[in-house]
Amino acid sequence: MNRFNGQTAIVTGAARGIGRAIAERLASEGATVALADINEAGVQAAADEIGGASFAVATDIAEPESVTALHSAVIDKTGQLDVLVNAAAIVPFVPWDDLTFEEWRRVMRVNLDGIYLMCRAASDLMRPRKYGRIVNIASNSIFDGTPNMAHYVASKGGVLTFSRSLATELGGDKITVNSVCPGLTDTEGVQESPHKDAFEFVDMLQAIKGTGTPADIVPAVAFLASEEAHWITGQALAVDAGMIRH
């Protein structure tokens, strides 16, 4: 399939994990992808590997100037923006007893302020063209309140409800906004944290058995980012082997 021929996409969190896999798919289907990540070396390596016209932009999604610079770079290089996928986030493992206000703010700043800043800048570019696809990566943890990450769960609940509202705001300009809610997924980030020990537990809850990988999340994101998903907006899609059925 070549669903993104002639299109430009921004994917945040594209240095590794789910974001990187999404960037690879959109590029393989014809998009020029701006890979945005705070990990400068990692995102450059990812862009080099993808090749073609895709390019890396070192970006902190929580810094307004950095987000503005990213969108300027996209316009300078390609002149348009069709797709935004917000996959960058902090995925913490912090029990309630250790959850300080500082830690709460650290996560909110990236996971929620960052989504606002990215959607603000991207929608301003999309609206005059009367086309756009925004896919925000939330998490299935918001449906059952996964432990050891209350601030993260709160931030991702905000991502879902914000996406719903933004869908209403932007529908008049034919821009769709949806969220995808992955279950526990085997990524570099998870492997670096105690979340890696939870795979057996979530397997027990899944309708379909096995370990989720970024490749399992990508197809849902690519579909919602494609032109043909034009009649779907304000939705949240759990992609988690049926762990959550809401």
7 touches, from ligand NAD, ligand 4PL, none (C-beta below 5 to 8 Å by class): none
Is 152 one of the catalytic residues?
Answer: yes
Going edge to edge, which strands form the sheet with 236-239? Answer: 55-58, 32-37, 8-12, 83-86, 132-137, 175-182, 236-239
195 binds ligand 4PL (CB under 6 A): yes
- Hey, what amino acid is at 169? E
- Choosing from 57, 74, 85, 87, the residue that interacts with ligand NAD (CB under 6 A) is 87
What is the DSSP secondary structure assignment for residue 86, as one 8-state letter? Answer: E
Q: How far is the CB of 170 from ligand 4PL (least distance, A)?
A: 26
- Burial 77-95, CB ≥16 within 10 A → b, else e: ebeebbbbbbbbbbbbbbe
Secondary structure (DSSP) of 126-140: HGGGT-EEEEEE--T
- Choosing from 19, 122, 218, 244, the residue that interacts with ligand NAD (CB under 6 A) is 19
Stretch that binds ligand 4PL, among 27-35, 102-110, 134-142, 209-217 (CB under 6 A): 134-142
CB 245, CB 181: distance < 8 Å: no
189 touches, from ligand 4PL, ligand NAD, none (C-beta below 5 to 8 Å by class): ligand NAD
| Sites of contact with ligand NAD (CB under 6 A) | 12-13, 15-19, 37-39, 42, 59-62, 87-91, 110, 114, 137, 139, 182, 184-185, 187-190
- Residues with catalytic roles: 152
